[in-house]
Amino acid sequence: MNVTPSTESSSSATAIQSRFLRACKRLPVDATPVWLMRQAGRYMEEYRALRTQHPILELIKQPDLAAEVTMQPIRAYNLDAAIIFADILPPLEGMGLNLEFIKGEGPVIHNPIRSRADVEALRLPDPTESLWFTLEAIKLVRKQLDPRGIPLIGFSGAPFTLASYAIEGGSSKNYLHTKGLMMSDAPTWHLLMEKLSEVVGNYLLAQAKAGAQALQFFDSWVGALSPADYREYILPHSRHAIDIARQGNVPIIHFGTNTSGMLNLIQEAGGDVIGVDWHIDLDTAWDSLKPETAVQGNLDPVTLLAPWPEIEKRTREILDRVKGRPGHIFNLGHGILPGTPVDNVRHLIDFVHEYTSIQH
């Protein structure tokens, strides 16, 4: 199945009015926009029902199913943006890595990268061929979202985070192999990161062309590094990927965790919106960034498992720290955890809107 890259405008007339896209540009909004990382997923009954019939990679690779999962939280709550249902790892498959999701263990790569030859063998596929299913899902979802005036976010794993999975062969605690390659063989490291940044940049650009109205660059695990290593071994490659994606003319959200000590470097690599996890006060984080920056965050995801008064208290504190500065997108500091009660999610979204509405 082939997907012809779309040439349609990346933002529809309705969507440009959306709170989410306005906040990305730091324009005034009638209430703070909210979306939640992993807003579609295991905590929702509708999703679990689908998962009993389809393995996760099937949900991702069948565009109609990916579109359905993307829409589940949109139908359930008053969210201000949808995010395409996909995963950060499929881009590695097209490069030649064998990806499998193993129950109870998570993602596993059966042929991890360990040598120069492994890196040289990596292919740079055209995303319209290797990742056609996500691009097709984006088109399907846009048809359902546009009448609602809700914009769609596309995303990709960032080069470092993809490299860490590709090298470790799965998730990791200390990133021994990843940092080992980085510290012991800089030329091979940079070759790998160059290849990944091309793939990531082109994938993001293809998503914008397919209809994604914003793009999130997920560097989830980059906080494992020191700022000095980030600057030397990651930043140029993240910047290259983001520069390619910028040709899509849609806002880019640059997200990481445990980055409190290097948010300025994350920004230097690029992005219109900087994601902030919960390990730093949002205003402190914001003050460390350039004045024209929008920010996204920063509630601890565990909070959503607490009783409502505790959720409200912590949400209110974040919103009070923002004090009406333009360009805040409310979100968790990382993805929703399995076991999160859906009523808490609904209540949170409504509370953020109510508390920040112009009538407030």
Q: Is 38 a catalytic residue?
A: yes
Identify the active-site residue in 47, 87, 321, 355: 87
Q: Is 39 annotated as a binding residue?
A: yes
Q: Is 118 a catalytic residue?
A: no
Cβ atoms 136, 207 nearer than 8 A: no
Q: Does 163 bind a copy of itself (CB under 8 A)?
A: no
Q: Is 165 a catalytic residue?
A: yes
Q: Is 287 annotated as a binding residue?
A: no
Output 182 or 210, the one with its CB closest to a copy of itself: 182
How many residues interact with a copy of itself (rule CB under 8 A)?
Answer: 37
Stretch that binds a copy of itself, among 24-32, 51-59, 75-83, 259-267 (CB under 8 A): 259-267
CB count within 10 Å of CB 186 equals: 12
Q: Does 302 bind a copy of itself (CB under 8 A)?
A: yes
In the list 25, 139, 190, 279, the residue contacting a copy of itself (rule: CB under 8 A) is 279
Q: Is 316 a catalytic residue?
A: no
Output 146 or 229, the one with its CB closest to a copy of itself: 229
Q: Does 98 bind a copy of itself (CB under 8 A)?
A: no
Angle between helices 308-322 and 342-356 (to 10 degrees): 30
Q: How far is CA 219 from CA 46, 237, 256, in A?
A: 28, 12, 5
Q: Does 283 bind a copy of itself (CB under 8 A)?
A: no
In the list 87, 93, 198, 229, the residue contacting a copy of itself (rule: CB under 8 A) is 229
| Distance between CA atoms of residues 210 and 204, nearest Å | 10
Identify the active-site residue in 26, 38, 142, 246: 38
Q: Does 314 bind a copy of itself (CB under 8 A)?
A: yes
Q: Does 184 bind a copy of itself (CB under 8 A)?
A: yes
Binders of a copy of itself among residues 25 to 64 (CB under 8 A) are: none
In the list 228, 247, 350, 357, the residue contacting a copy of itself (rule: CB under 8 A) is 228
Q: Minimal distance in Å, beta carbon 335 to a copy of itself?
A: 11
Task: Provide Rg for the chain, Cα atoms.
Answer: 19
Q: Minimal distance in Å, beta carbon 95 to a copy of itself?
A: 25
Identify the active-site residue in 43, 118, 142, 165: 165
In the list 81, 163, 235, 280, the residue contacting a copy of itself (rule: CB under 8 A) is 280
Q: Is 314 a catalytic residue?
A: no
As annotated, the binding site for substrate includes 38-42, 87, 165, 220, 334
As annotated, the binding site includes 38-42, 87, 165, 220, 334
Binding residues vs a copy of itself (CB under 8 A):
174-176, 179-180, 183-184, 223, 225-229, 258-262, 278-281, 284-285, 298, 300-303, 305-307, 310, 314, 317, 337, 339
Which residues belong to the active site? 38, 42, 51, 87, 165
